[in-house]
Amino acid sequence: MFLKISNTIAGELRAVTGLPDVGLVEGGEHADLASTVAFSLAKTRKQNPAQISAELAATLSSRPELASVKVAAKGPYINFILGPGYIEETLREAVRPGYGSVPVRPGRVVLEHTSANPNGPLHVGHIRNTIIGDTLARCLKKAGHRVEVQYYVNDMGRQIAIVSWGFSHLGISRNEGEKGDHHVARVYIAANREIKSDPSIVEEIDSLMQDVESGDPAVSASFRSAVSQCLDGFKVTLERLGAYHDRFVWESDFIRNGDTERVLDGIKRLDECHTDGRMWLDLSEFGFEKEYVLRRSDGTSVYAARDLAYHIWKGRNFDRMIDVLGADHKLIGAQLIATLKLQGEKYPEIVYFEFVSLPEGSMSTRAGKFVSADQLLDEVTAKAFEEVTVRRPELDVDKRNAIARSVALAAIRYDIVKISPEKSTVFDWKEALDFERQSGPYIQYAYARACSILEKAGEFEEAYTLERESEIALAKHLAKFPYTIEMVVKELKPHLLAIYARELADLFNSFYHFEPVLKSEGLTRKSRLTLVKATQNTLGEALESLGIDAPRTM
RNA sequence: GGGCCUGUGGCUUAGCCAGGAUAUAGCGCCGGGCUUCUAACCCGGAUGUCGGGGGUUCGAAUCCCUCCAGGCCCGCCA
């Protein structure tokens, strides 16, 4: 609704001024939308901008397309205030199930996220990737895109060789009840300690990497076993996080099926390719000084070569590729894109996020310095259970456990997704365990409240007459939901939805405290109930897109 | 040394790419509000050289230059 009226107003302004850019901005407290076009016209027309805006406002007021919009000049600004017709149409749309969704669009999108190395459990840094990626996938689907979500399993890297070596040399057995990924971390940390005290082990690691690339069955099986064990642990964590992958793609498959060799053969023919024992690309025409090495002098391929094969495969099977990667991948991501361009292949859109560190410094799986996602989930869930028990002591344990799980997931996902990805953050237990303002549970609570009102109200006839300030502000925000989803998908910025949902909950809570719903009467009651229903529906859709449960009671 | 990102009240943060009207919220602080639709809530108040300095513009948190501070990257690692 908001999108539609914005386009109409912009179109009218263009028609009236003849300018392509009509300076349409948010109106703040003055209006719903405003135009600053009078400033730019002031120069060419050599007139006072206030005079121009007054004239334009008068002209626009008489346009039939803007019949439901109040147009008024205020100084140099042209203000647009959306009227009752807009509110009514918004409410009619917002009460419908699936509000904000659009029909399926042509083309398929492949979105890769998380793809952490299987050398230890997912930690609070990795799950920033998971949550950004999963939220994007949900928003893309809501916006009508067909999406396949993939996890790229780095199963033949040096880290995995170290884990494999550790398993066969250190005899570290799995503890009772220990998750596979946590066990792998202990092996990995111990193996690194061994390497540090005896650097000659590095030769054994190198030899393992050569064996796996040449397809040695025993070594491959050993790698695969370690990776599978870790991945099984990841899957449990991802499930708890409410994040879903359609497919796990194994890096080694691109060696086994010959894709990597074929890709390297193709690259060999490029002018930018140099072979001096190793094989590398000169990407200086793209501004990269660094040599982009694809094959070692011992003949084995490096990660970049396999990644190239993976992306070419994705590009040929999908219409659009999106990768979610840590900011440490910026250089290699840009090199990957440059190389794909050289080959005339499709290249990915990459969403980067900055690092999450601990108060004591950066996280390191190798050094055992990390807070695992499992630990975070456990502690937040325990705290949530305490909270639920205090607030709802009458509920039985199962019910309280269910709410606690839902609240914990909301707290974790929201805490992470609300921060714009380009901001590096420091993990803070106090914030993670806070379920109040600007949190996921806060939004869930608004939803549960709306559900409670609707349940008590029973059947009612919908009506669309809103008069109070808090009602109108709420309804106007509902109108922006489809626009917000559009923006998230267009800009690949999931935090916009997080901010939107929080603002919606804020406005609903204010409305709730100012205007009685069930105790009001007649048209007012019907209209307010319709507003509550529209809000409940929109909050539900927003929460679903954020990967957060929408509990009817909490 | 070079490249990328970040710097907004004591703390966290939106807005920046597509420049506009007194800069968005939260935490914390001060003061109110639960016999009233779920107080995981609401209302009011104090708190800002939008890192510093130049520039462009009628207008700069937003664009350009420069400096400062922090993070990340610059492996025949992934």
Among all strands, which nt has the closest C1' to A116 (CA)?
B78
Among protein residues, the one whose C-alpha sits closest to the C1' atom of B11 is A431
In angstroms, the CA A79 to CA A33 distance is: 6
Q: Please name the residues in contact with A351: beta carbons below 8 A apart, sequence gap of 6 or more.
A: A132, A133, A136, A322, A323, A324, A325, A421, A492
Residue A397 has pLDDT above 90, yes or no: yes
Average pLDDT over residues A107-136: 97
Report the complex ipTM: 0.96
The residue-averaged pLDDT of A192-196 equals 93
- Residue A462: which pLDDT band, with cuts at 50, 70 and 90? very high
For position A176, what pLDDT does the model report? 95
Residue A407 approaches strand B within 7 Å at CB: yes
pLDDT number for residue A44: 83
At the top level of CATH, the class of A373-545 is: mainly alpha
Within 58-117 of chain A, which residues have Cβ less than 7 Å from strand B? Answer: 74-77, 79, 117
User: Rounded mean pLDDT of A74-82?
Assistant: 94
Q: Is the pLDDT of residue A43 over 90?
A: no
**Nearest nucleotide to A154, CA against C1' atoms:** B78
How many C-beta neighbours within 10 Å does residue A111 have? Answer: 27
Alpha-carbon span A8 to A64, nearest angstrom: 11
Q: Which nucleotide is nearest to A299 (CA to C1')?
A: B76
pLDDT > 90? residue A482: yes
Q: Which two tokens stand for residue A444?
A: 């869930």
CA separation for the pair A421, A477 (Å, rounded): 24
CA of A532, C1' of B38: distance in angstroms: 15
Question: Residue A315: what pLDDT?
Answer: 97
Cα(A385)–Cα(A395) distance, integer angstroms: 12
Query: Does residue A289 surpass a pLDDT of 90?
Result: no
- The answer to whether some atom of strand B lies closer than 7 Å to the beta carbon of A331 is yes
Question: What pLDDT score was predicted for residue A380?
Answer: 97
- Nucleotides of strand B lying closer than 7 angstroms to a protein CB: 3-7, 12-15, 17-18, 20-22, 25-27, 33, 36-43, 58-59, 70-78
CA A66 / C1′ B75 distance in Å: 62
- Helical axes A158-170 vs A217-240, angle rounded to 10°: 100
Hey, what CATH topology would domain A2-82 get? Answer: Gyrase A; domain 2 (3.30.1360)
Residue A445: CB less than 7 A from any atom in strand B:
yes
**What is the average pLDDT value for chain A, to the nearest integer?**
95
pLDDT surpasses 90 at A19: no
Half-sphere exposure at residue A325, Cβ-oriented, CA atoms within 13 angstroms: 16
DSSP H helix total and E strand total for chain A: 21, 14
Confidence of residue A28 (pLDDT cuts 50, 70, 90): confident
A420 CB neighbours strand B below 7 A: yes
Task: Convert the pLDDT of each residue in A331-361 to its tens digit.
Answer: 999 999 999 999 999 999 999 999 999 998 8
Could you check: is the Cβ of residue A391 within 7 Å of any atom of nucleic acid strand B? yes
Mean pLDDT score, A60-87: 93
Within 7 Å: CB of A387 and strand B?
Answer: yes
Q: For chain A, which residues make up each domain, given as ranges?
A: 2-82, 155-244, 373-545
Minimum CA–C1' distance nucleotide for A30? B21
Nucleic chain B contacts, protein chain A, residues 166-205, CB cut-off 7 A = none
Dihedral in degrees, nearest 10, Cα atoms A493, A494, A499, A502 = 170
Q: What is the pLDDT of residue A45?
A: 85
Specify the amino acid at residue A80.
Answer: F
Residues (251-310, chain A) with CB within 7 Å of strand B atoms: 251, 277-278, 289-291, 293, 296-298, 302-304
- A327 DSSP 8-state letter: G
Confidence check: pLDDT of A317 > 90:
yes
Cα(A42)–Cα(A363) distance, rounded to whole angstroms?
56
Q: Is the CB of A441 under 7 A from strand B?
A: yes
Instruction: Say what the pLDDT of residue A46 is.
Output: 84
Rounded to an integer, the average pLDDT of A251-263 is 95
Residue A1 has pLDDT above 90, yes or no: no
**Nearest nucleotide by C1' from A156 CA?**
B78
Of A51-65, A126-140, A425-439, where does the model show the most confidence?
A126-140
Given this model, what pLDDT does residue A298 score? 87
Per-residue pLDDT at A410? 97
Euclidean distance between CA atoms A225 and A217, whole angstroms? 12
Q: Which nucleotide is nearest to A516 (CA to C1')?
A: B37
Residue A97: pLDDT above 90? yes
Within 7 Å: CB of A513 and strand B? yes
pLDDT surpasses 90 at A439: yes
- Secondary structure class of A240 (helix, strand, coil): helix
Q: Which segment of A23-32, A114-123, A413-422 scores lowest on mean pLDDT?
A: A23-32
Which stretches of A369-520 are DSSP H helices? 373-391, 397-417, 429-432, 440-457, 469-478, 481-491, 495-514
Nucleotide nearest to A383 (CA to C1'): B40
Model confidence at A539, pLDDT cuts 50, 70, 90, reads very high
Closest nucleotide relative to residue A31's CA, C1' based: B21
